[in-house]
Every structure is written in structure tokens, then in C-alpha cells.
Amino acid sequence: MSNNLPAGQIPMDQHRAETVERDCLCSGCWGRVNADFAPGRLWFVRCINCGENTPGYVSKAYVERREQENKFEAREIKRAFSDWT
């Protein structure tokens, strides 16, 4: 599927929506995503922060890995700065 709509405006079936809600976070801000009904029984999965403009989804596992890397990088940067003092 390729179009220019943000993911938050692309309908999906209920099963997929529930899976995305359970396993994924917003790719824009890593916020929680909620599955919502829309008129016509289409489902949308939207970030609690980005709403209709939710750009996409990333898996929770990916975000956890990235957060660990960020913590590691923060430590490394601190260490680099401490060499200057």
C-alpha cells in the first residue's frame, strides 16, 4: 500500500488494529497508540499525541532497544566531557 496519507488516516481491519495497538508505538514520538473505530466500522490506530497525523508505527521492542542505546550513548558522552574537566 503506498499513498501519502499518514498512517493514522489509513484504515485497517480490527485484528490488525488490535495487534498494532498491542505491539507498537508511534514512530513520530514513540507515544502510545490506540485503536479506534471510525464510521463504517473501519479501524484506525492513532497516537495519543499525534492523532490523525500519526506518521507510522514502530515495534515496542525496537523502541526499547533504541532507548537502551540512548542511555548508553548518554553515558559515553558524559564520560567524554569528564575528560575535559
Distance from C-alpha of 36 to C-alpha of 9, rounded to nearest angstrom? 11
| Contact code string over 42-71 relative to Zn ion, x by CB under 5 A | -----x-xx---------------------
Residue whose C-alpha cell reads 525496537 in the numeric block: 62
Cite the DSSP H helix spans in the chain.
14-23, 60-82
Tell whether residue 7 is a contact of Zn ion (CB under 5 A): no
Nearer to Zn ion, 33 or 43 (CB): 33
Q: Which residues of the chain form contacts with Zn ion (CB under 5 A)?
A: 26, 28-29, 31, 47, 49-50
